[in-house]
Amino acid sequence: MPAKKITHKTGFDVVIIGGGSAGLSAAFAARQEGASVAMVSADKLGGECPNYACVPTKSMLAAAVRYDDIRRNGGRFGIDVKQLSFNLSTMMERKNAVVNAMTGNRRLEKILESEKVTVFRGAASFIDDESIRVGTHIISAKSFVIATGSISRIPPIAGIEAIDYWTPREATSITELPESIAILGSGPIGCEFATFFSLLGVPVIIFDIADRLLPREDAEVAALAAKTLMHRGVTFHSSTRVLGVAKSGRQIRLTYQTKSNPRKTVRVEKLLIASGRAPNIELLGLENAGIKRNATNGVTIDQMMRVKGRSIFFAGDVTGLPAYTHTAHHEGTIAGKNAALFAQGKKKFTHVDLAVVPRVVFVSPELASVGAMADELVMQKKLFSVWKFPVGALGRAVIESERIGLLKVFVDKKSSLILGASMLGDHSGEVIHELALAMYAGIAIDTVQSMIHAYPTMSEAIPGLIPL
């Protein structure tokens, strides 16, 4: 195939590769520093989160949670639920409308145009450390920001290439519910999809090599979340490897082994792979820019988000750092600003700060955390105390008829500063930010508790905390 003829050559101070959360933040930050900026995007602007992951998933969950709440609790609130049903098509139409409100109608394109950011469509590959090729364009820059995100990591399972499996992208575009589904991965993505399908009555089986559900979370709080999933019919196989998959009529047959026990098989209609993601760097031609991959098949960057000795910065999921949309925005802002300063010959850069990063897993009820959990603190040989409060004892929980939940806070024994916190309960994603702010600002637990909290709210769990 003949090489594409080069028809345009263009130069900028900063070129950003990737139009997702990190890339957009990088573009805006670089423009604020007065740099000329171009963005290259091979996919829909906004990236994975608003188009294919976070936003559509949470929209689907919002519908399923409301249905389940009315089904379980409607009667006690005086709501007649005898003829209650759900319409998946309407749920998915609403999901599409939510996504469209975030990224449709050229919304992001118009914002970039107003910021005087030039957008190129297509896949980028480096020619050298000063220029890239995008279709028939050669684009040069004084510095680059790579924000190409991540892709689903497909595990090496025998027969997987012959199976019509789902990744999260396909699972957010369904037109009908499967009769049954197996999910590989018990992290946030796997558990959120397990929540959605189980709330709508689909039998779910989760497989993971980890020894418990949500292994990054506090063991006690995660166990409570696992209990709620199992009450909805979710089966969880921990310390388990899926060894092979094969077609079996309209179903998929999975062969699995738990620890050293005999192998077993199970049949399901659909298989969803949610077992991790990998940096999306394969097609960038990084070697042409003199960038080597590290042991984890990513790249090594410093606190300025820069590859040492290069004019290339990284931001977002592609970095291998904690992969959240909010951290991607933060990293993009830092990388974009520093890339602009570098292009202008300035040397005083801003450092990334990921010391306090709240996170939320949208199971039902929500699980939210910040900081280090107990296992990590023990490994760090920290002297800490555990403070607890049962969320079900709150007036708001009684009013809402949602009594499941627990708040745990880990407190430094010497300074009384908060080292980490985890909460399962309705609105925990909002409550956790009060504790995150206390961590960020260095405010002791007793000072946080002494503030008056409104009644009746879920935040009252914080002054109710008792050290064990």
pTM above 0.85, yes or no: yes
Averaged pLDDT for residues 51-72: 96
Give Rg (Cα) of the chain.
Answer: 24
**With 50 as the cut, is the pLDDT of residue 2 above it?**
no
Opening angle at CA 22, ends 298 and 155, nearest 5: 40
Residues ≥6 apart with Cβ < 8 Å to 272? 165, 166, 167, 168, 171, 181, 182, 183, 184, 190, 193
Interval 445-467: pLDDT, tens: 999 999 999 999 999 999 999 99
pLDDT at position 347:
82
Opening angle at CA 258, ends 253 and 259, nearest 5: 150
Residues ≥6 apart with Cβ < 8 Å to 147? 16, 17, 18, 20, 22, 23, 26, 314, 315, 316, 318, 328, 332, 335
pLDDT at position 320:
87
**With 60 as the cut, is the pLDDT of residue 4 above it?**
no
Residues ≥6 apart with Cβ < 8 Å to 411? 384, 385, 386, 387, 417, 418, 419, 445, 467
d(CA 340, CA 352): 15
Q: Indicate the SS3 state at residue 421.
A: strand
Interval 141-162: pLDDT, tens: 999 999 999 999 999 999 999 9
> Within a 10 A sphere around the Cβ of 321, how many other Cβ atoms?
20
pLDDT at position 6:
57
- Buried-exposed string 9-38: b where 16+ CB fall within 10 A, e elsewhere: eeebbbbbbbbbbbbbbbbbbbbebebbbb
d(CA 252, CA 203): 14
Q: Which phi and psi angles does 303 have, rounded to 5°? A: -70, -10
Q: Using CB atoms within 10 A of its CB, is residue 329 exposed (0-12), middle (13-18) or buried (19+)?
A: buried
Residues ≥6 apart with Cβ < 8 Å to 341? 33, 347, 348, 349
Structure tokens at 244: 């092979």
Q: Indicate the SS3 state at residue 91.
A: helix
Q: How confident is the model at residue 1 (pLDDT cuts 50, 70, 90)?
A: very low
**With 90 as the cut, is the pLDDT of residue 427 above it?**
yes
Averaged pLDDT for residues 370-375: 97
For domain 160-275, the CATH class is alpha beta
Listed as own residue / partner, the contacts of 165-168 with beta carbons closer than 8 Å and 24 or more positions apart are: 165/245, 165/252, 165/270, 165/271, 165/272, 165/273, 166/270, 166/271, 166/272, 166/273, 167/272, 167/273, 167/274, 168/52, 168/53, 168/57, 168/193, 168/272, 168/274
**Is the separation of the CB atoms in 277 and 153 below 8 Å?**
yes
Interval 247-282: pLDDT, tens: 999 999 999 999 999 999 999 999 999 998 999 999
**Is the separation of the CB atoms in 365 and 228 below 8 Å?**
yes
Architecture (CATH level 2) of domain 365-467: 2-Layer Sandwich (3.30)
Question: Among residues 97, 100, 262, 275, which one has the least CA distance to residue 185?
Answer: 275
pLDDT at position 7:
62
Percent of the chain scoring above 70 in pLDDT: 98
Sheet (strand 418-424) strand order: 359-361, 367-371, 418-424, 406-412, 384-390, 466-467
Domains 160-275 and 365-467 fall in the same CATH topology? no
Amino acid letter, residue 461: A
d(CA 232, CA 200): 10
> What are the boundaries of each domain within the chain?
8-51+96-151+278-343, 160-275, 365-467
Strand bridging mode 124-128 / 117-121: unpaired
d(CA 147, CA 160): 29
pLDDT at position 227:
96
Interval 377-417: pLDDT, tens: 999 999 999 999 999 999 999 999 999 999 999 999 999 99
pLDDT at position 94:
97
pLDDT at position 385:
98
Q: Which phi and psi angles does 232 have, rounded to 5°? A: -95, 5
CATH of the structural domain 8-51+96-151+278-343, one choice from 3.90.1150.10, 3.40.50.12780, 1.10.357.10, 3.50.50.60: 3.50.50.60
Interval 285-332: pLDDT, tens: 999 999 998 877 689 999 999 999 999 999 999 998 989 999 999 999
Strand bridging mode 406-412 / 418-424: antiparallel
Structure tokens at 461: 């769990």
d(CA 125, CA 398): 57
d(CA 340, CA 36): 9
d(CA 28, CA 340): 11
Averaged pLDDT for residues 71-80: 93
Provide the mean pLDDT of the chain: 95
Residues ≥6 apart with Cβ < 8 Å to 118? 10, 12, 37, 38, 39
Which helix (H) or strand (E) segment is 236 a member of?
strand 234-237
Question: Among residues 353, 354, 326, which one has the least CA distance to residue 429?
Answer: 326
Tokens 């946030």, located at residue = 188
pLDDT at position 354:
96
Q: Indicate the SS3 state at residue 248.
A: strand
